[in-house]
Amino acid sequence: MADAAAVEIYTSKFCGFCVRAKKLLTQKGVSFTERDVSADRDGRTLMTSRAGGRTSVPQIFINDDHIGGCDELFALERTGTLDKLLSLSA
C-alpha cells in the first residue's frame, strides 16, 4: 500500500479481541503501533481519553481517528471501508 495510514492499537495481555484485531491487520499487511496498557495507568488514561471514555481493549485509531474496538474493525472490513481508511491514496 502506498502512503499507508498510521494505525495505533491499545491492547492488554490475554485479550482475545486484541489478538483478533492484530491478526486482521497483520493479514492485510498493515504495520501498526501497539501499546500494551495492561500495567500502564498513564497509557490507559490516555487511551480512555482518546477513545471518548471507552475503557475496554482493543481501542484502534487510524490516522488519529478513533474507529473503536475489534467489532468495529471487523464491521469496517465487512463493508469494504477498512481498506479505504488504511490507504491515504485510495
Give 87 or 7, the one with higher predicted confidence.
7
- Confidence at residue 88, expressed as pLDDT on a 0 to 100 scale: 53
Say how far apart CA 40 and CA 5 lie, in whole Å: 25
- Of residues 10 and 2, the one with the higher pLDDT is 10
Indicate the pairing of strand 7-11 with strand 33-36: parallel
The dotted CATH code for 7-86 is 3.40.30.10
Tens of pLDDT, residue by residue over 64-86, are 999 999 999 999 999 999 999 99
pLDDT band at 1 (very low <50, low <70, confident <90, very high): very low
Which sequence spans correspond to the domains of the chain? 7-86
Distance CA(90)–CA(42), nearest Å, equals 35
